[in-house]
Amino acid sequence: MDVFEAVKGRRSIRRYKTDAVPKELVEKMLDAAHWAPSGGNIQPWKFIVISDRDLLELVRKVSPGYLGEAPLAILVCSDREKEYRIGGALGRDYLSIADCAMAVENMLLVAYALGLGTCVVKSFSRIAIKEMLEIPDDIEPELLVIVGYPAQTPKPPARTPLRKITSFNKYDQEFLTSLEE
C-alpha cells in the first residue's frame, strides 16, 4: 500500500470484530514502531502486548477512553530514567512523549496497511494500569493502542485547510497551494 494512502485512509476505530489478531501482524506493527525516529536515537519505548482476554477486560475497565471491545491492545511506555540519563530533562519531559508518539504513528499506518483498525487512547488511569500490568516505577505508560479488525468505516473528519495552518518563510505569510481542499 502506498504510504499516502495509509496516511489518508487510517481512521480511529471504535467498533471491532471479535476475530483475533494474528501474532505475525502484531510483530509487523511492533517492527514498524521500533524503526521510528527518536531524539538522540535514545529509543525510549517499551511495548506491552495485551491479548489475555481477562487482563484486557481489566485494562478496559480502568480506561474510560477505551471504547469498543477489541481483542488486543498494545501499551506503549517510555523509559523515563533512560531518557533522563541520556537526554537530560528535555529527554525525560518532552522527547519521551514525542518519541513514543512517532513510534505509535508508524504502528497505526502499518496496521491500516495490514487491514487492521486501531485507536489511540490516552484516557486511562496510569496508576491502575501500572498496577494491573506490574509496570516498574521508572517506566511510564504513554499511549494505549487498541487493535482489531474494524467493524465500522468512519467518515473522514474535516481537516483545517492547509493554507490556514501553513506559512511561507515567515509566520502568517501566505502559503499558496494547488491542493484541492
Partner 1 sequence: MAVKKLTGNDYLFEIAVFLATSARGCIDEPPLYGPFRLLDALSKLTDLPEYAIGLNPDPFLKEIKAIVDEKKFLVMYDVDGFQRAIDEIVEKFAKELKKRYLETK
Between residue 131 and residue 160, which ones bind partner 1 under the rule CB under 8 A? 157-158
Instruction: Give the nearest distance from C-beta 56 to partner 1 in angstroms.
Output: 11
How is residue 4 written as a grid cell? 499516502
Distance CA 111, CA 160 (A): 25
Distance CA 105, CA 21 (A): 19
Query: Which residue of 14, 17, 34, 163 would you call a contact of partner 1, by CB under 8 A?
Result: 14
95: CB partners within 8 A, 6+ apart? 38, 39, 40, 42, 44, 83, 87
Distance CA 92, CA 135 (A): 17
Instruction: Give the nearest distance from C-beta 125 to partner 1 in angstroms.
Output: 4
Strands 139-148 and 117-121: antiparallel
CB closer to partner 1 out of 158 and 176: 158
CB closer to partner 1 out of 19 and 57: 57
Between residue 38 and residue 77, which ones bind partner 1 under the rule CB under 8 A? 53-55, 57, 61-65, 67
Between residue 106 and residue 135, which ones bind partner 1 under the rule CB under 8 A? 122-125, 127-128
Which residue ranges make up the site for partner 1 (CB under 8 A)? 12, 14, 53-55, 57, 61-65, 67, 122-125, 127-128, 157-158
